[in-house]
Amino acid sequence: MESALDDVEPLLPERSLGDILNETFVIYGRHFAKFLGLAGAVQIPATLVLLAPIENAAIYIILNLISLIALVSIFGATIYAVGQHYLTDSVMVVDCYRRLTWRLVSMAILAAIFAVITIMGLLLLSFVGVKLYSFAVATVLILGAYIVPALVGPVVIIEGVKTIAALPRAFELVRQNVLRMIWDLLVFFLVAFGLGFVLFTPFILFFPSETDALSRTLVVVSLIAPAVVVPPVLSIAITLLYYDLRVRNEGFNIEKLSQEMGLAAV
């Protein structure tokens, strides 16, 4: 009897940074509507909440936590979606969030780790000021701090490992690739920032000066559009980088991916 994997390319290829970026947009374009739905399901409510009046520091912190939780949720769901793409050539949004729910506590811990790193990074940047050299060094340090947590997401969602065990597992994957990880993450963030800027700029240029209903609508759309479109790009790229590290270190292949995700290849 033939296996469902018989007609599937058994090995995932090794990819350069350019290959990862190209594949990111290939996957995104192939399932564009699904990724928009996946991101919009959490980002639209989260972004609308951010429009609430900020009356004190507590509300500010709560709103930012909501935004962070939304981003980590998209990250986790997108990781599973990329696996679905390779195994079934489809994306089922409900299944992506079901997988996220399966490891919800672990992803919540990951969100807390990201929050701590982000706060420390902002404090560091405010301390070093705007001098180019010190700012560049601080940026590298911050990206370095993101390396292991960035791979914890794929380890949790794909391998099913809980956060405490996922941290050393992620470190194992990156320990010989630290400089590459810093560079790749920097490029991923720059691409995401550039895409967000392109999406946001038209709204700045054509904002009506009046504070009427049209103006308020444009403000909302200008916030929602980048918030929905950009996060899947970054999440797909990080997932593909995780695949590549495993391919190079462990001979990771489609069959192994299928086993870990509990999803048959078709």
Mean pLDDT of 176-197: 90
Contact partners, residue 256, CB within 8 Å, separation at least 6: none
Given a contact cutoff of 8 angstroms between Cβ atoms, the answer to whether 80 and 157 are in contact is: yes
Task: Please report the pLDDT score of residue 4 as a whole number.
Answer: 39
Task: Give domain status of residue 168, yes or no.
Answer: yes
Convert the pLDDT of each residue in 229-253 to its tens digit. Answer: 999 999 999 999 999 999 999 989 9
- Inside any domain, residue 39: yes
- Residue 221, pLDDT > 80, answer no
In a domain, 222, yes or no: yes
3-state secondary structure string, the chain? Answer: CCCCCCCCCCECCCCCHHHHHHHHHHHHHHCHHHHHHHHHHHHHHHHHHCCCCCCCHHHHHHHHHHHHHHHHHHHHHHHHHHHHHHHHCCCCHHHHHHHHHHCHHHHHHHHHHHHHHHHHHHHHHHHHCCCHHHHHHHHHHHHHHHHHHHHHHHHHHHHCCCHHHHHHHHHHHHCCCHHHHHHHHHHHHHHHHHHHHHHHHHHHHCCCCCCCHHHHHHHHHHHHHHHHHHHHHHHHHHHHHHHHHHHHHHCCEHHHHHHHHCCCCC
- Specify the pLDDT at position 19: 96
Per-residue pLDDT tens digits for 130-159? 666 666 766 777 777 778 888 999 999 999
pLDDT at 6 over 50: no
pLDDT score, position 138: 67
Q: Residue 254 has what pLDDT?
A: 92
Q: Is residue 6 part of a domain?
A: no
Top-confidence residue, 199 or 28: 28
Alpha-carbon span 4 to 139, nearest angstrom? 46
Query: What's the number of domains the chain is made of?
Result: 1
Query: Does the structure show a pLDDT above 50 at 1?
Result: no
Q: Per the domain annotation, does 113 fall within a domain?
A: yes
pLDDT of 50 over the 60 cut: yes
4 assigned to some structural domain = no
Residue 104, domain member (yes or no):
yes
Q: What pTM, to 2 d.p., does this model score?
A: 0.85
Which pLDDT tens digit goes with each residue over 55-64? 777 777 788 7
- Residue 7 inside a domain? The answer is no
Please give the residue range of the domain that contains residue 199: 17-261
pLDDT exceeds cutoff 60 at 17: yes
Residue 66: its pLDDT value, please? Answer: 85
* Residue in this structure with the two tokens 């997108």, named with its chain if needed: 78
Q: pLDDT class for 265, splitting at 50, 70, 90?
A: confident
pLDDT digits (tens, 9 = 90+) for 71-101: 999 999 999 999 999 999 999 999 999 999 9
Average pLDDT score, the chain = 84
Check if the beta carbon of residue 49 is closer than 8 Å to that of residue 63. yes
